[in-house]
Amino acid sequence: MNIALLEPLGVPTETIDELAAPLKAAGHSFTYFGTKTSDPDELVRRSAGADVVMIANNPYPAEVIRQCNELKMIAVAFTGIDHVGLDACREQGIEVRNCAGYSDTSVAELTLGLTIDVLRHVAEGNAAVRNGGTSAGLMGREIAGKAVGIIGTGHIGTQAARLFKAFGARVLGYARHVHPEAVEAGVEFVDLDELLSQSDIVSLHLPLNTETRGWFDADKISHMRSDAVLINCARGAIVDNDALANALNSGQLAGAGIDVFDMEPPIPADYPLMQAKSCIFTPHVAFLTEEAMQRRAKIEFDNVVAYAEGRVQNVCTL
């Protein structure tokens, strides 16, 4: 079996060599490309002859997949698979496996970090000190005693709920199904309108798909409290970001902490959220910790080994 890793995984080359060793020992061919590319022709060249390609969060579009006649499985070192040309995978019967769970802790921790930054004006405080300013205008709010609404109570949402509970918050949850693990973590499940109207902090933890694209729209934002803040470390396109910018600028919302956008950074200067009040950003780094990179590399290679051995593991529903 020919295996091609098309981009770096955020770990040292020595780690890649160590993880690839069992595949090579089993007689499989393994090729590693140590640079990222978004050029379709180069992706086709790198994928040529591969039975399995391994990627991270770099787009792997349908136009590339349709030219890869040997391809049988795509191993994605990421939780979401919306950057893969899934229509082409369905057409060609190509299996996709992901690395669900590798960044649960990392994303949950940044969710808390952005919340603290918004409520305690950390970024503004840093700027004030560097510019000879004072604490004027930087009165903050605590998480303790607040109601936090978690929309999407899978593994990441539940982990975020645990952290918010540890800070002394009451945690409300909304999801299609009541998850026992979330209930055990102290999440109180309510309907969406109740969550939006009662929560001081709303945190999104949904996957991006045809149903969730643009789902958090102006109507849902209008049900939030004017002193509430929105945190999004999930997918940018879940939110109508034009509507979010309008709500922030009009005072309909008190603030937002955003790690994800409608596109990958760099973000254009005229992007509506860039002009919004009381909004802080990170450049899609919620998943990006040393520990998470090590976990996902191991899961990625374990998925390929499992596929080579005919074992079902982390197979995605397309």
Active site positions, annotated: 235, 264, 284
> Which two three-digit tokens encode residue 14?
């020595």
Distance CA 299, CA 316 (A): 14
